Structure 1
Amino acid sequence: MLILPKNYVQTIKNVHKEKGEEWLNKFQDLIKYCEIKWKLTILDPFELSYNFVAPAIRDNGQEVVVKLSIPTNAFFSEVEALQYFAGKDMVSIIDMDINKGIIILDRLLPGHMLASIEDDELATKIAATIMDTLWVKETQSTKLPQIEEREKSLLRFLNNYPEGKGPITTPMLHKATNTFRRLLADGKDRYILHGDLHHYNILKGEKWTAIDPKGLVGEREYDTIQFLLNKLPESDLEPVLKVRIEILVNRLELDEKRLLEWGFVHSVLSTCWSLEESNDYNIAFYKSIFVFEKLHKDKFGRLEC
């Protein structure tokens, strides 16, 4: 019997309420179902957050990864994104049972994260190569969430906390929402995006490969921001961000002005997400708000309020 960590169990209950309780009660049966259907043995899980993810060995010796999720819109978006990115620098689906929230994935070995690369410029170039292979033009048939969902999330925070919360002030929120609205109004080309591509979602297999797409439709520039925000130093963020941005803009032929604006917006949004869950927040994400704003001012003028 697999014993789930207490903090993971509590997360499932907090996020999914009654549906989470029901899923947890049936968890051991779900494990047995997977082991019988795919003739495999599930090993101790990786570090868990919102999904159960564990290595497994099939009867024929093949090493795979079993990912179990509560079937929600987020899960269905992940499956759709994995299918859009099939054959690219994305982990491969071996099989799945969508109704039960099960995905069997290829196991990437040795599997160390891009975060293990100390040379930040090299890590950024690797990430740029992956971004370039993943992004595909938006299709009319996609059911993936649109970037407007992120705007609604920011507007919801402003509505719930009109006086601001924690370090996020009302003027900051208004500047972010106005910038978001203006960016969307420009009607730039949209792509199928990873939605959460960063140093910890890129692993080394036979080649560097992305995992765990959220699936999102929006501008390419927006999909770089989560990478830019991760694995930053505790202080003096600006030089690191400047080099990363230069590499991504040049290698992917991106619009630097829009990238900086999306960086400002998403840094605010990411901090808001953290404050919605607790009174804690990522200091680097918060500091990045001011770095993106400064870089924009230095090169393109002040962000409009």
Structure 2
Amino acid sequence: MGHADDRLGPPARLMRAAGATGGARQWLARLPMTAQEYLDRWELTPERVQTPGGRSSMAVLVHQADGTPAVLKLALPDGRAAAELTALEHWNGLGAVRVLRAEPEAGALLLERLHGDVSLRSLPEQKALLEASATLQRLWVAPPPSALPSVADRTAAQADGLRASAWAAETAGPLVAEALELRDALAPGPGEPAVLLHGDYRQGKVLAGDRTPWLAISPRPLVGERAYDLAWLVRDRADTLLASPGAAAILRRRIAKLADSLEVERERLRGWALFRAVEAGVRERSEPLLEFAALL
């Protein structure tokens, strides 16, 4: 095996996002060699690293030995790739990208190639919401037998992080308190059967495909109620929303439309949208996200 191709270096976004801890820095330093190892073992020919890329993984556009295009995804070996594989294999291409090969313990997935530069964000907003809703309905199936975290488990850890954040208390104390109160009320679930959730569903995570028009990518799967999975669709295009006159009214209409079309309770959707926006706003120290949450 030769040396790693110089073109296999991690993108700047990934370096910034994942380079904060010692373990991640070691993984980043070795990432070009790791990519080269999988290219050799799986007989892949690289085109280029996809940029700007994600914040916890690197995607290399490749061709398989028979010429079929694919994507080699190399993620931090923190267990997320195994959970992602569990969900993608359970969906088996229905509404989501297909897995071609995998070594989840090493964070390596070979995925079918989609049109990475064409997401639902390329569509007008109302059309994007319709397509996003239709795709998401295909993903809401009975959970796989493999253990995945629940909404209650994941949000309990996030709530602990909010309570421990001095920055949160100082910057947005009343909003954080409301978010925590909502989470405690929502987490037990509404009594409906729990389903497999994408966990990080938004317009940018749905790409154009060849075998079907739109397919979801990069789940952070968990099990729970459907309203949780809609929260980031409420937040999509928040920058445009925040700059619009009557933003709060527009947001209320968006929640009503999503809730009614997918048969979830409006207040549960509003509550999860607020909690998730506050949690992300505190974690990322993002005042625009907290401003958005305040509109809810």
TM-score range, shorter chain: 0.7 to 0.9
Q: Equivalents in 2 of 1:162, 1:286: separation in Å?
A: 12
The count of corresponding residues between Structure 1 and Structure 2 is: 280
Q: What secondary structure does 1:217 align onto?
A: strand
Counterpart contact for 2:60–2:73, Cα < 8 Å? yes
Q: How does 1:94-173 map to 2 (within 5 A)?
A: 94-109=100-115, 111-117=117-123, 119-138=124-143, 141-148=145-152, 149-161=154-166, 164-166=169-171, 168-169=172-173, 171-173=174-176
Q: Distance in 2 between matches of 1:162 and 1:12?
A: 21
Deviates more, 1:175-184 or 1:233-242: 233-242
SS across alignment from 1:121:
helix
Q: Which of the numbers 208, 219, 229 marks the counterpart of 2:225? A: 219
Q: Which amino acid aligns with 1:229?
A: R
Give distance in 2, aligned partners of 1:65 and 1:165. Answer: 43
Structure 2 CA distance for partners of 1:40 and 1:247, relative to 1, 3 Å: same
1:144-170 per-position Cα deviation (integer Å, ceiling 9, x unaligned): 22222223212322233287133x12x
Partner of residue 180 from structure 2, selected from 157, 177, 182: 177
TM-score normalised by L of structure 2: 0.86
1:129-278 to 2 correspondences below 5 Å: 129-138=134-143, 141-148=145-152, 149-161=154-166, 164-166=169-171, 168-169=172-173, 171-189=174-192, 190-206=194-210, 207-232=213-238, 233=240, 234-236=242-244, 237-275=247-285
TM-score between both structures, scaled by the size of structure 1: 0.84
CA contact (8 A) 1:63 1:107 kept: yes
What's the offset of the Cα at 1:180?
0.9
Code of the residue aligned with 2:84 in structure 1: it is E
Are 2:17 and 1:11 aligned? yes
Q: Which amino acid aligns with 1:52?
A: M
Q: Which runs of 4+ in 1 moved over 4 A?
A: none
RMSD: 2.2
Shift of 1:19: 2.5
Q: Once the two structures are superposed, what CA deviation does each residue of 1:62-108 show, in whole Å capped at 9, x if it has no partner?
A: 11011001221222221222122223110000111123211000001
Name structure 2 gaps, 5 residues minimum.
none
* C-alpha distance in 1 between matches for 2:164 and 2:18: 27
Q: Distance in 2 between matches of 1:212 and 1:121?
A: 23
SS of residue matched to 2:147: coil
- Identity over aligned residues, as a percent? 21
CA positional deviation for 1:239: 4.2
**1:83 to 1:282, Cα distance in 2 relative to 1, 3 A:** farther
Give unpaired runs (5+ residues) of structure 1: 276-280, 293-305
Change (3 A) 1:242 1:163: closer
